[in-house]
Structure 1
Amino acid sequence: MSRRAPAAECAALVLLLLLGTACGSRLPESDFENRSTPTQQGGTSPIRVGIITSATSPVGGSTFTGPRDGAKAYFERLDTRGGIGGRPVEVRLCDDGGSGVGNNECVHRLLDEDKVVALVATTSLDYAGAPRVSHARVPDIGGQPIGPAYDTYPHLYGIYGSLAPRNGRTGWDGKLYGGTEVYRYFKRAQGARTAAVVSYNQSASAAYARLVTQGLKAEGYKVVTEQVDFALPNFRAAAADVKEQGADLVFDALDTHGNAQLCKAMDDIGAKVIAKVTNVQNWASTVPEDYKDSPRCRNALWATGSSRNFEDTGDPAVREFRDATKGLSAHSQWQLEGWAAAKWFTDAAKSCARTGVTRACVDDFMNRGEPYTAGGLLVPVTYERLPEPPKTRRTCLSVARWEDDEGWVSQGDMNTTCFEVPQLSYRP
């Protein structure tokens, strides 16, 4: 069984750029020289980790905080149970503000001043400090691949794995690859044949729409493309054409607000589809509020990802996550993935009982070459360095559907919902 390729997730997350643009330049590399940084945290002192989040980014205050909140909850529960070998985990947070300058400042503070042994659940709009993290050989574990950093640099381990060489150049000759498993699933499991792709007339949105269209056509779909004006979108006209063309599925390259407006327009004109498909970023308990004006479309929402549905409380690992986060006002798939990232670091640190918890030891655990599941929360994550990209790959996915009376309802088991699919290239 193979790990789902991260490229599709990465491409979807680029849509966060629609609402704002991170700005700033990198700080001089000389500011980040690694002088006398200890590589071991020993004795009974706390084990210090860092979490970088674009908590106050231009795209909104709550957009990136899910992984941070999940990781914090894991470490808090871990400490109540004795920490790692009797040592508590001390979490140092840094908000980079969504800018490259802010990200470099966070990296500088956490690595050189706070001397963290690792970064965990990084979620940054502009991961400008990634080269510095890699140069310092500080493992970055379970970060969200909003940009291509996790398919570019060694010592960085995104939550979705990577097969790329990671030698300082992105992917293979600047290209990343993603599979068509999502489109294959809806074709086989739901009988879909016609798909609409709705995007803005904006570069990032249009580029992602082209990638989705490419994948759909590779799976034999008839594809209907709809583009709306970014400043003055006419979602009603797009919804009317979706209805006229008889689309079974709707994919989008829109932000959350645009999704809600599209859904409302679809309800208003009576467009019925098998599925309005969204991604892991929008897999959250806030659906009733986000889509309050479109009950029919809301109940046609489907989400796909690579981690176990946070609503699957019958699973003991999910139940533990939900119990530890019951004080949160809402729950999301990104929170669960942040929790999984913290568990990943913890398992790595526990493997260092003989040598002490060092950056090198934690990094060695990450480079074992063995799939990792965080106790069954993740589809097995793998890291390899393939000299050439695979032409096809067996990929598995987690699928859930929203139902007002039940919330997100899983559709089959993520470890058996697998397909051998082609890998299509794109430039990030």
Structure 2
Amino acid sequence: LVSRAGVPDIGGQPLTPAYETYPHLYSLYGSSAPRTGASPGWDGVLYGGTEVYRWFKREQGARTAAVVAYDQPASASYARLVERGLRAEGYRVVTERVDFVLPDFRAVAADLRERRVDLVFDALDGHGNTRLCEAMEALGVRVDAKVTNVQNWSSSVDRAYARAPGCRESLWVTGSSRNFEDTGHPAVRAFRAAMGDRETSQWQLEGWAAAMWFTDAARSCLDRPDRGGLTRTCVEAYLNRQEPYTARGLLLPVRFEHLATPPAERETCLSVARWRDGRGWVSQGEMTRNCATVPQLGHRP
């Protein structure tokens, strides 16, 4: 409906393939897909890189990884992509599926211990992550890293995982935006000052970056009389320009390429942080230098 109306949707955080399908939807993370509205990605196939798995193999020497997901279509689809990426990077992969309504996380934790897993990846919500950690804590399961995503990257970790201190200390996150704890960066300081004493999350920082993106696009139209004023056409011209957008350094470079064929590989960077009690989320290296040229693997959503 939004795309048919020609309304630019700017800086969305995709939970479905919509942002890889429709021409007026602009994901916060960019896209190379044609986005003609006919089908997601390239003829119904989406592509993702293996940079996360390459990083943990290179930096931590991990070799065995488990992927925990619900038996729910969106969760299972994402989990399959994670599993493919891990295998492409040479990991031994342990697949764990739990019932969406009555998940048995204790059984999963027991299997993780039996399989001697180094890393745990998930396609779970925040509640599921907490319950999995509590089950791992109850059985004394320890891993090098329990890796989650931006949805679970928040300042409430100490409270949410209060009953799982051992598991909490193994939490890592990866993403495409600068850690909201990196107050040494001026754009992060501006965001934190605006937030005040509120509980903070990475999704809030990304929402702030999305608002900044629209504001910069609007200003580009208003500052140049020859562009015809603040119109949808002018705003979308800013979004589709060749120069990538970084929201003053809050985002890894974002662009929209509309490639006719998907790239076989590309250089991709990522933001990595781990939880430390008393310190919060501690960045692991500078995100603009945590980079690798990795294969792009296809999957059907």
TM range (shorter): over 0.9
Matched, 1:181 2:51: yes
**Counterparts in 2 of 1:312-331, with a 5 A limit?**
312-328=182-198, 330-331=199-200
Alignment equivalent of 1:159, drawn from 19, 28, 51: 28
Q: Do the aligned partners of residues 365 and 230 (structure 1) sit closer, same or farther apart at CA in structure 2, a change above 3 Å counting?
A: closer
Give the structure 2 partner of residue 149 of structure 1.
Answer: 18
Query: What secondary structure does 2:122 align onto?
Result: strand
Query: What secondary structure does 1:216 align onto?
Result: helix
Give the structure 2 partner of residue 384 of structure 1.
Answer: 257
Aligned residues: 296
Give the structure 2 partner of residue 401 of structure 1.
Answer: 274
Matched, 1:334 2:207: no
**Counterparts in 2 of 1:11-22, with a 5 A limit?**
none
Runs (4+) of structure 1 exceeding 6 A deviation are none
Whole-Å separation in 1 of the counterparts to 2:21 and 2:139: 45
TM-score by length of 2: 0.95
Deviation at 1:202, TM superposition (A): 3.2
Give the structure 2 partner of residue 346 of structure 1.
Answer: 215
Alignment equivalent of 1:411, drawn from 284, 287, 291: 284
Matched, 1:237 2:107: yes
Q: Do the aligned partners of residues 267 and 175 (structure 1) sit closer, same or farther apart at CA in structure 2, a change above 3 Å counting?
A: same
Q: Do the aligned partners of residues 356 and 206 (structure 1) sit closer, same or farther apart at CA in structure 2, a change above 3 Å counting?
A: closer
Deviation at 1:138, TM superposition (A): 2.2
Alignment equivalent of 1:265, drawn from 126, 130, 135: 135
Q: Deviations over 1:79-100 (max 9, x none)?
A: xxxxxxxxxxxxxxxxxxxxxx
Whole-Å separation in 2 of the counterparts to 1:385 and 1:201: 33
Q: Do the aligned partners of residues 358 and 289 (structure 1) sit closer, same or farther apart at CA in structure 2, a change above 3 Å counting?
A: same
Give the structure 1 partner of residue 151 of structure 2.
Answer: 281
Whole-Å separation in 1 of the counterparts to 2:129 and 2:288: 29
The alignment's C-alpha RMSD in Å is: 1.3
Whether the 8 Å CA contact 2:125–2:151 is kept in 1: the answer is no
Q: Deviations over 1:265-294 (max 9, x none)?
A: 111221111100100111111111221110
Query: What secondary structure does 2:248 align onto?
Result: coil
Q: Deviations over 1:65-84 (max 9, x none)?
A: xxxxxxxxxxxxxxxxxxxx
Alignment equivalent of 1:309, drawn from 179, 190, 194: 179
Whole-Å separation in 2 of the counterparts to 1:201 and 1:324: 40
Whether the 8 Å CA contact 2:150–2:175 is kept in 1: the answer is yes
Whole-Å separation in 1 of the counterparts to 2:235 and 2:115: 53
Matched, 1:248 2:118: yes
Opposite residue 273 of structure 2, the aligned amino acid is A
Q: Deviations over 1:329-370 (max 9, x none)?
A: x11111111111111111111111213212211111112121
Alignment equivalent of 2:237, drawn from 343, 364, 382: 364
Q: Which 5+ residue runs of structure 1 have no aligned equivalent?
A: 1-128
Opposite residue 268 of structure 1, the aligned amino acid is A
Whole-Å separation in 1 of the counterparts to 2:70 and 2:253: 34
Whole-Å separation in 2 of the counterparts to 1:382 and 1:181: 18
Whole-Å separation in 1 of the counterparts to 2:256 and 2:219: 20
Deviation at 1:386, TM superposition (A): 0.5
Whole-Å separation in 2 of the counterparts to 1:327 and 1:261: 28
Whether the 8 Å CA contact 1:162–1:383 is kept in 2: the answer is yes
Moved more, 312-321 or 168-177: 168-177
Whole-Å separation in 2 of the counterparts to 1:231 and 1:374: 39
Deviation at 1:327, TM superposition (A): 4.4
Which has more radius of gyration? 1
Give the structure 2 partner of residue 426 of structure 1.
Answer: 299
Q: Which 5+ residue runs of structure 2 have no aligned equivalent?
A: none
Whole-Å separation in 2 of the counterparts to 1:202 and 1:148: 16
Whole-Å separation in 2 of the counterparts to 1:187 and 1:196: 14
Deviation at 1:152, TM superposition (A): 1.3
Query: What secondary structure does 2:249 align onto?
Result: coil
Whether the 8 Å CA contact 1:137–1:360 is kept in 2: the answer is no
Whole-Å separation in 1 of the counterparts to 2:111 and 2:194: 45
Give the structure 2 partner of residue 140 of structure 1.
Answer: 9
Whole-Å separation in 1 of the counterparts to 2:74 and 2:21: 20
Deviation at 1:296, TM superposition (A): 0.6
Whole-Å separation in 2 of the counterparts to 1:151 and 1:411: 30
Deviation at 1:259, TM superposition (A): 1.2
Opposite residue 340 of structure 1, the aligned amino acid is A
Give the structure 2 partner of residue 192 of structure 1.
Answer: 62
Opposite residue 230 of structure 1, the aligned amino acid is F
Whether the 8 Å CA contact 1:340–1:377 is kept in 2: the answer is yes
Q: Do the aligned partners of residues 136 and 190 (structure 1) sit closer, same or farther apart at CA in structure 2, a change above 3 Å counting?
A: same
